[in-house]
Amino acid sequence: MGADLVVRFAGEGGQGQVTAAEGMAEAAARVGYHVQTFATYPSQIEGGPVWAQTRISTNTILTQGDQLDVLVALNRQAYENHIADLRDGGIVIYNSKDFDTPPPGNAIGLDAEALARETGNPRAANFIMIGAVAQLASMPLDYFTDFVKVRFTRGRPNDAEIINGNNKAIEVGAEKASASGYAVEPLDQPTPSDTKRILARGNDYLSMGAIAGGLEVFYGYPISPATTILVFMENNLNQEGQFVGQTSSEIESIAAIIGAGYSGRKVMTSTAGPGLSLMHEGIGLAWIAEIPLVIVDVQRGGPATGLPTKTEQSDLLSAINPGHGDMSVPVIAPGSVADCFPAAIHALNWAERYQGPVILLTEMSIAERNEDVPMPDINAIANERRTVSTGEMGNRRYAGRTISPFPVPGTVGASYVANGSEHDEQGDTTHQPQVHVDQTERRFSKLALLEDGTYDSENTSASVAILPWGGSKGAARAAYNRLRADGTDLAWYFTMFINPMPPALLEELRSKDLVIVPELNYLGQFSSVLRGLGINAHSIRQYTGLPFKEGFLVEQVQAMMKAQSGKLVRA
């Protein structure tokens, strides 16, 4: 019996592979498995290579899985592109329409569309696939037929018809698979968790976190892979005292949330790299005028239009230092779908607490994948609000070298000018050298209010550490587990709090001989920041547009630890 099943559905856009992968995941999650799905497709609508993958396991899932147990290839090109990822003894289900001679190895020919038509429900091709895969992993079919019942009972006259059609398709797929005689290691029984769980997509879970965190106003302009956040808000941020608007550009987005933040609301926008770059001047304005706001940057491949539908971690430098002039913008980077909910709450709290812009730096691979996570206890959430002026300070909004109460417009006796030029206490422009010194130090001093970030650590006595950031956490953790199991003496660190980092973590890292940073960019962006902070950090870099694989990281860490004998490797 095995703990794990990894299946990939690959083909052209519009062949239903994403619904198949997600359907499988949801059904498996309902009976108590841990699941994770991952999909990738080009920035387009029809056709072109699209693949979706589901991992089902009795253990917590850290990655999408390096190797496939089953590959469902819906056309020849897909077979060629993906066959290399199939593990020895893995099984291919191929679209018999596309192959005159069956491919080598354990291969099952199947014409899902034709079979679906036979079942009288041509739109059920994805359930044919699901049935076949379930059968190969010896999973009870009722996991899936029950799921179909629940999912398609929508109080419509033709519910029964659709349910029966889909379930018929599941059985047909299963029959074909068993007829082939092939099978993968049967999947262990699930152990239903005692706590309530939900199956969420990264961007949706992040959006819910923001709303649970007290978000009141959201503005955004569509851009992949951030659009789903804007869409979620348009559908859900509509209660009394809330507002959501689609803007004409990211420049208007940043201007609008600056206005909304100035007006006293808890505010957010979301974008991807190109939009973040357009916001740079505005982020500087929020920094110098001290306006609380959160910018979600869902990273994709860059620069410019770049790789809109691929994942990358290459916006870090411009997130910490967006635009001209002296600033250091707080950055929080969730490491998994589960992290997205608390990360959104924390980002809003940081913005309110230090009265300035915060960047919530996530990435395509987290944004678009589904993961099962524990149902959060929303009563346990601590929402912060900026301390507001009741007029006691008069118009001295920028008084002192650290935070001062925020005058909400409308408050009598506290009117001031929020100013993007250097300014005195009441916000009037000035060029006096000492004022620029004082106000600059005031702005940076507020970062000390954000040192409450937490971090995980393990085996901290080791002199070499691995420190992934963002979405590389899972693969790095999987690699770490394997290395530790092999007896490698390696320390583990992870924090969502990239800037400012938890001071205690900084101290620990400074004491290491080598800190290994797996990151999805060419420059080794995070490690260069860490070296600037006096840490001997060096990167494992990948810039393929795809997430790390566990095996790759294991090899790379081993190589770096070998090389690590005094002399340094430049990242």
Partner 1 sequence: MSKRNPEYDFKWCPGCGDFGVVRGIELALAERTMRTGEPIEKTALIAGIGCSGNLVHLQEGPQPYGFHGIHGRALGIAYGIKASRPDMNVITVGGDGDMLSIGAEHIGPQAKRNVDLTAVVMDNGIYGLTKGQASPTTLGGVVTSTTPYGKLEDAVRPLDLYLAHNVSFIACGVSSKPKELAGLIGQAMDHPGFAVVHVMSPCTTYNDTYEALKGNPAKGIEPLAHQVPDSHDASDWNAALALVKQPGVPVGIIYRNPNSVPLHQRFAEARERIKPRSRSVEQMLNALAI
Ligand X SMILES: Cc1ncc(C[n+]2csc(CCOP(=O)(O)OP(=O)(O)O)c2C)c(N)n1
260 contacts 267 by C-beta, under 8 angstroms: yes
Footprint of partner 1 on 104-133 (CB under 8 A): none
512 contacts 491 by C-beta, under 8 angstroms: yes
What Cα–Cα distance (Å) separates residue 418 from each residue in 91, 245, 265, 429?
Answer: 64, 23, 15, 10
What Cα–Cα distance (Å) separates residue 219 from each residue in 44, 253, 276, 290?
Answer: 24, 6, 14, 19
Residue 221 three-state SS: coil
Residue 285 within binding range of ligand X, rule CB under 6 A: no
In 3D space, the residue among 544, 85, 525 whose CA is nearest the CA of residue 310 turns out to be 544
Residue 220 within binding range of ligand X, rule CB under 6 A: no
Residue 301 within binding range of a copy of itself, rule CB under 8 A: yes
- Contact flags string 222-261 toward a copy of itself, x per CB under 8 A: ----------------------------------------
Residue 416 within binding range of partner 1, rule CB under 8 A: yes
What Cα–Cα distance (Å) separates residue 319 from each residue in 108, 333, 552?
Answer: 48, 11, 28
Among positions 174, 307, 347, 509, the unique one binding a copy of itself when judged by CB under 8 A: 307
Residue 544 within binding range of partner 1, rule CB under 8 A: no
Burial class (CB in 10 A: 0-12, 13-18, 19+), 430: middle
Q: Which does 521 bind (CB under 5 to 8 A by kind): a copy of itself, partner 1, ligand X, none?
A: a copy of itself
Q: Which does 273 bind (CB under 5 to 8 A by kind): partner 1, ligand X, a copy of itself, none?
A: a copy of itself
- Residue 182's identity, in one-letter code, is Y
By C-beta, is 4 or 312 nearer to a copy of itself?
312
Residue with tokens 């940057």: 297
Among positions 8, 82, 176, 265, the unique one binding partner 1 when judged by CB under 8 A: 265
Footprint of ligand X on 65-94 (CB under 6 A): none
- Residue 14's identity, in one-letter code, is G
Footprint of a copy of itself on 419-478 (CB under 8 A): 420-422, 431, 433-434, 436-437, 440-441, 444
Among positions 31, 198, 278, 462, the unique one binding ligand X when judged by CB under 6 A: 278
Among positions 113, 216, 312, 371, the unique one binding a copy of itself when judged by CB under 8 A: 312
Burial annotation 124-151 (CB, 10 A radius, 16+ → b, else e): bbbbbbbbbbbbbbebebebbbebbbee
Among positions 7, 133, 172, 217, the unique one binding partner 1 when judged by CB under 8 A: 217
Residue 222 within binding range of ligand X, rule CB under 6 A: yes
Q: Which does 545 bind (CB under 5 to 8 A by kind): a copy of itself, partner 1, ligand X, none?
A: a copy of itself
Which residues on adjacent β-strands are paired with residue 10? 51, 73
Residue 274 within binding range of ligand X, rule CB under 6 A: yes
In 3D space, the residue among 504, 493, 479, 506 whose CA is nearest the CA of residue 560 turns out to be 479
Residue 52 within binding range of partner 1, rule CB under 8 A: no
By C-beta, is 375 or 437 nearer to a copy of itself?
437
Q: What angle, rounded to 10 degrees, do the helices at 125-136 and 17-30 form?
A: 50
Residue 29 within binding range of partner 1, rule CB under 8 A: yes
Footprint of ligand X on 286-315 (CB under 6 A): 305
Residue 438 within binding range of partner 1, rule CB under 8 A: no
CB atoms closer than 10 angstroms to residue 100:
5
Kindly indicate which of the ranges 105-113, 411-419, 501-509, 541-549 contains the residues binding partner 1, using the contact rule CB under 8 A: 411-419
Instruction: Pull the structure tokens for residue 378.
Output: 């929303």
Q: What is the largest CA-CA distance in the chain?
A: 84
Residue 363 within binding range of a copy of itself, rule CB under 8 A: no
Minimal distance, residue 224 CB to ligand X, in Å: 6
d(CA 31, CA 69): 21
> How many residues are present in the chain?
571
SS (H, E, C) 239-260: CCCCEEEECCCHHHHHHHHHHH
Q: Which does 70 bind (CB under 5 to 8 A by kind): a copy of itself, partner 1, ligand X, none?
A: none
d(CA 375, CA 379): 12
Residue 546 within binding range of partner 1, rule CB under 8 A: no
Residue 42 within binding range of ligand X, rule CB under 6 A: no
Minimal distance, residue 137 CB to partner 1, in Å: 19
Kindly indicate which of the ranges 210-218, 384-392, 476-484, 517-525 contains the residues binding a copy of itself, using the contact rule CB under 8 A: 517-525
- Residue 511, Cα to own-chain centre: how many angstroms? 30
Minimal distance, residue 6 CB to a copy of itself, in Å: 19
CB atoms closer than 10 angstroms to residue 412:
7
Residue 103 within binding range of ligand X, rule CB under 6 A: no
- Residue 510's identity, in one-letter code, is R
Kindly indicate which of the ranges 274-282, 376-384, 491-499, 508-516 contains the residues binding ligand X, using the contact rule CB under 6 A: 274-282
C-alpha count within 13 angstroms, C-beta hemisphere, residue 80: 6
Among positions 61, 128, 208, 360, the unique one binding partner 1 when judged by CB under 8 A: 208
Q: Which does 499 bind (CB under 5 to 8 A by kind): ligand X, partner 1, a copy of itself, none?
A: none
Tell whether omega for the bond before 303 is within 30 degrees of 0, i.e. cis. Answer: yes
Residues near ligand X (CB under 6 A) are 221-223, 250, 274-275, 278, 305
**Residues binding a copy of itself (CB under 8 A):** 42-43, 49, 272-274, 276-278, 280-281, 284-285, 287-289, 297, 299, 301-310, 312, 314-315, 317-318, 321-328, 420-422, 431, 433-434, 436-437, 440-441, 444, 521-523, 525, 528-529, 531-532, 534, 543-546, 568, 570
